[in-house]
Amino acid sequence: MHPRPPAPPAPPGAARPGHAGHTRRARGLRAVLSAGAAGALLAGLTTALPAAAQPAPEPDAAAASVVEVTGSQGAWQLTVDGQPYTVKGLTWGPPVAEAADYMPDVASLGANTVRTWGTDATTRPLLDAAAANGVKVIAGFWLQPGGGPGSGGCVDYVADTAYKNDMLAEFPRWVQEYKDHSGVLMWNVGNESVLGLQNCYEGAELERQRDAYTSFVNDVAKKIHEVDPNHPVTSTDAWVGAWPYYKKNAPDLDLYAVNSYAAVCDVRAAWEAGGYDKPYIVTEGGPPGEWEVEDDANGVPEEPSDVAKAEGYGRAWDCVTGHTGVSLGATLFHYGIEDDFGGVWFNLTPDKQRRLSYYAVKEAYGGDTGGDNTPPVISGLAAENAGAVPAGREFTLSADVADPDGDQLTYEVLVNSNYVDQDKALRPAQFRQTGDGTFAVTAPDKLGVWKVYLRATDGKGNVGIETLSVKVVPPPVDGTNIARGKPSTASTEQTDAYGGCPCEAGDATDGSYDTRWASSWADPQWLSVDLGERTSFDHVQLTWEGAFARSYAIQVSDDGQNWQTVYETAEGNGGIDDLEVSGTGRYVRMNGTARGTGYGYSLYEFGVYR
């Protein structure tokens, strides 16, 4: 996912190889962030993607192409065996072992290139499938700390000779293995490490490390050229803030590469202002990422619509091809089918279904669109009272849904808790359709801002997806919270600073969902509130933090010593427990006997109502 120009290098997150999805960066980094590769994919694409030509016979791996950057300043071109070649590509997500199943569909889009982030002993099936379908591969080599802030371990490029020597031995090994394969287009060393080093160093040391890193990239490029003089070498980073370092320290690169999303149309001006003497390719690009959009009313990034995303791919390609003689093409992000937070934001085929962006790329790349059946289009998605949806209660979701081909549609509603607990998974929500484009959806029972997704499928392998956020709040309770502000005690309290603590007993009866009680990490544990006098109540509301009780009881006592159980369960699942339970006593407590996590017990609020 991608950045605005760093100042000077100073993005990703869904996912690099092995990641499950894109992640949101810290607010202050949003201007220089980028997306990365997709993680493991679901198997099988036969029912989801369009019919394409059967794979050609196995290629002659010895029939290597000679790929060159030719021409002069501002009039460059990439050639393959002497013929002009514009990179019309996609970043690659599926497992390489299943490349033969997916590559025909890539070719059907009009794409001629895929880009990877790693090359090793598992790569050959990808190269074979690419060559069999007239596609070539930009084969990547991963360097730490790849992927921008928060991704990958830190390396001391000034002093860590062992790491550098290991990579100088490892990368040429695979170049030697695959250099004569007709599927290879070029080699790509590193991904966003100039940016990523800011997660490891600062000030003058950061500058030293960036100089050392880009000098090392040059060492790798020279070594690759010694092994394989017939394929170019490039290096990718986030936005063009890395290019001054490459210009100074990496003269052996044949071309530059940049990851850029909403800012892709600014790359040309940056190249012209920088006085560079090498062409470039865009190695990740497309619609805006999390870090490039405004926050919505609930304070989280407002994801573009399917229509806007499709337009983003067309716009990106127009800007790439508009820089004639300098930009040699692009691999747009992302040919993947992960069906999670990042997959819905970026993938052309989430859950193995084609969306509007898929067809936008197909149109841009000149694929045959004749007879295509296109996806449903969802607009005007809205949620009733989206800023205060009661946990566990129904709210209304509404939208206008149309299918260009008049297909009968089926619907799903899903939720995602990325902004609550960084879980990227999409989970089915309980819902019922109440009208044409209206749905009664049961809200999650965990507090915080959730993403809600409406998915419309046409039975022809196409999907329309729109999403918005809702803020889940405690459900209202009739009556008065007689525990609020009353003295509370607990079996144990977390007194250190871990997880935003100290977290004392009274923090669960202070009326604030910004504070919490937390116990030690052991069973059993209890939290008790002193109501001051013997009092009757008819409702208890427990608002759990992530550390919840699997088994617990609500108990009452007149003396704080002898307890009577008025409610118990062994099926607690966290979130909010809204309990219609009656009792009478001066003291009321939650007595936890089995934790639901490996942590302790933790409550934002322990409400007792009458």
Among 27-41, 72-86, 159-173, 292-306, name the one with the lowest average pLDDT. Answer: 27-41
Mean pLDDT, range 455-475, rounded to an integer: 97
Torsion over CA: 417, 421, 425, 427 (sign): negative
Whether the predicted pLDDT of 49 surpasses 60: no
Q: Specify the residue for token string 């192409």.
A: 65
Longest dimension (CA), the chain: 92
Mean pLDDT, range 246-251, rounded to an integer: 98
Can you tell me the distance from the alpha carbon of 316 to that of 327, in angstroms, rounded to the nearest whole number? 12
Please give the pLDDT value at position 499. 86
pLDDT classification of 343: cutoffs 50, 70, 90:
very high
**CA-closest candidate to residue 91, choices 66, 111, 119:** 111
Per the DSSP assignment, residues forming a β-bridge with 389 are 472
Q: Specify the residue for token string 């919505």.
A: 296
Query: Which residues, 6+ apart, have CB-to-CB distance to 461 below 8 Å?
Result: 47, 48, 49, 50, 352, 353, 354, 373
Query: Which residues, 6+ apart, have CB-to-CB distance to 448 below 8 Å?
Result: 417, 419, 420, 421, 471, 472
Please give the pLDDT value at position 33. 34
Whether the predicted pLDDT of 35 surpasses 70: no
Query: For 479-501, how does the pLDDT look when each residue is reduced to its tens digit (9 = 90+)?
Result: 999 999 999 999 999 999 988 99
Among 9-18, 164-173, 278-287, 527-536, name the one with the lowest average pLDDT. Answer: 9-18
Per the DSSP assignment, residues forming a β-bridge with 113 are 89, 136
Mean pLDDT taken over the chain: 90
- With contact defined as beta carbons under 8 Å apart, do 205 and 250 qualify? no
Mean pLDDT, range 401-412, rounded to an integer: 97
Can you tell me the distance from the alpha carbon of 554 to that of 244, in angstroms, rounded to the nearest whole number? 64
pLDDT classification of 149: cutoffs 50, 70, 90:
low
Mean pLDDT, range 519-532, rounded to an integer: 98
Can you tell me the distance from the alpha carbon of 185 to that of 59, in angstroms, rounded to the nearest whole number? 15
Query: For 58-98, how does the pLDDT look when each residue is reduced to its tens digit (9 = 90+)?
Result: 444 447 899 999 999 999 999 999 999 999 999 999 999 99
Can you tell me the distance from the alpha carbon of 351 to that of 335, in angstroms, rounded to the nearest whole number? 12
Can you tell me the distance from the alpha carbon of 487 to that of 476, in angstroms, rounded to the nearest whole number? 23
- With contact defined as beta carbons under 8 Å apart, do 187 and 232 qualify? yes
Mean pLDDT, range 392-406, rounded to an integer: 97
Range picked from 19-33, 35-49, 557-571 for highest mean pLDDT: 557-571
How many Cα atoms within 13 Å fall on the side-chain side of residue 413?
26
Whether the predicted pLDDT of 360 surpasses 50: yes
Please give the pLDDT value at position 56. 43
Mean pLDDT, range 31-57, rounded to an integer: 36
Please give the pLDDT value at position 150. 55
